[in-house]
Structure 1
Amino acid sequence: MTVAKPAFVYVTYIHATPQRVWQALTDADLTGVYWGHHNISDWQPGSSWEHRRTDGSGIADGGGVVLEAQPPHLLTMTFGEAGSDAGPDASTVTFRIEAHRDIVRLTVTHVNLTEEDAAEVSAGWPAVMANLKSLLETGHALPQAPWDMT
């Protein structure tokens, strides 16, 4: 018998182009502004990615493997410990970027979560996405780090 693991889905609308949202998700400097971590990879399927602190320490608080990349519309990656592989039980996040006239619908789907991770993700993704939206629409991230918003 297979036990279902929790999943999380978050949708937001951003006044930006799909290309700009893609850039914000994959550019290390931009992720450092709104996420507080540089997301570092070449964003090619099979490549690793790291979620490195912006304090210059080089410490990666997370990471995984890029599973699918279709710029500027779809990015799927495992989401766990830095250096973790893409096994069948890996926690996975998908960003779907859809143009709708002059806005973008960004859907974040995070699956294969533990109960503990599901609670953290439910607080974390809305804060990170609010910060991303603010940055793209105003040029400024919110005045608090995402982990201080929950």
Structure 2
Amino acid sequence: MSSERRFVYTTYIRSTAEQVFRALTTPAFTMQYWGGAELTSDWRVGSPLEAVHPDRDDFIGEILAVEPPHRLSYTFTGPAEQAAGRPPTVVEFTLSPFGEEAVKLQVVHTGFTDDEQGAQDARDVGEGWPAILSALKTLLETDRPLASPGHFAPRTPATPAR
């Protein structure tokens, strides 16, 4: 029996689609809301993606779709999961206007395996995405990183992100 585990999260950000897309794809932004990780890639379909953090392994992936400023998708896995032969999951961001001053950002995370590890992975992203996206929203709306604890703590870039 197969189930389609998926995680869907929608938020509304007082910003433009261009600014949100740039924040999703610029290391100086990502390190401020993605628990200190710099998401690095050339953002071309088929290219590798790596979340670089000085203190831990984070995630790796491959770019599946890039349609600035409305859609971004990539695979998502950890180095240990990849080494164990576990298939990656898939993350897709869609951005659309929401009135005159805001953007609707939806994240859909799919591809969790139909076993206990897949169930745990789904629970993990169910906690991770709301924290990451709340920190993204705070950063874009206030120009200040959200003071998050532990694994979610931001890092400050050496030069301004804007």
- Normalised by the length of structure 2, the TM-score is 0.81
Which of the residues 64, 72, 75 maps onto 1:78? Answer: 75
Segments of 4+ in structure 1 off by > 3 A?
A: 145-149
Equivalents in 1 of 2:18, 2:57: separation in Å?
26
Question: Which residue does 1:29 correspond to in 2?
Answer: 28
1:19-41, Cα deviation, whole Å (9 max, x unpaired): 00000000011000111100000
Compare relative contact order (CA 8 Å, sep 6+) and give the higher one, 1 or 2: 2
Question: Which residue does 1:105 correspond to in 2?
Answer: 104
- Matched to 1:94, the amino acid is E
Question: Which residue does 2:91 correspond to in 1?
Answer: 93
**Any gaps of 5 or more consecutive residues in structure 1?**
none
Question: Which residue does 1:121 correspond to in 2?
Answer: 125
Q: 1:27 to 1:145 in 2, by over 3 A?
A: farther
Question: Which residue does 1:4 correspond to in 2?
Answer: 3
Verify the 8 A CA contact 1:9 1:107 in the aligned structure 2: yes
Verify the 8 A CA contact 1:79 1:90 in the aligned structure 2: yes
Question: Which residue does 2:156 correspond to in 1?
Answer: none
- Matched to 1:43, the amino acid is W
Q: 1:131 to 1:60 in 2, by over 3 A?
A: same
Offset of 1:52 from its aligned partner? 0.8
Question: Which residue does 1:132 correspond to in 2?
Answer: 136
**Any gaps of 5 or more consecutive residues in structure 2?**
113-117, 154-162
Q: 1:148 to 1:102 in 2, by over 3 A?
A: closer
Equivalents in 2 of 1:26, 1:111: separation in Å?
20
Verify the 8 A CA contact 1:127 1:147 in the aligned structure 2: no
Verify the 8 A CA contact 1:92 1:112 in the aligned structure 2: yes
**Percent sequence identity over aligned pairs:** 36
Q: 1:10 to 1:64 in 2, by over 3 A?
A: same
Equivalents in 2 of 1:132, 1:18: separation in Å?
13
Verify the 8 A CA contact 1:34 1:141 in the aligned structure 2: yes
- Normalised by the length of structure 1, the TM-score is 0.87
Report the number of matched residues: 142
Equivalents in 2 of 1:141, 1:99: separation in Å?
24
What is the CA RMSD across the aligned residues, in angstroms? Answer: 2.1
- Matched to 2:95, the amino acid is I
Matched position secondary structure for 1:25: helix
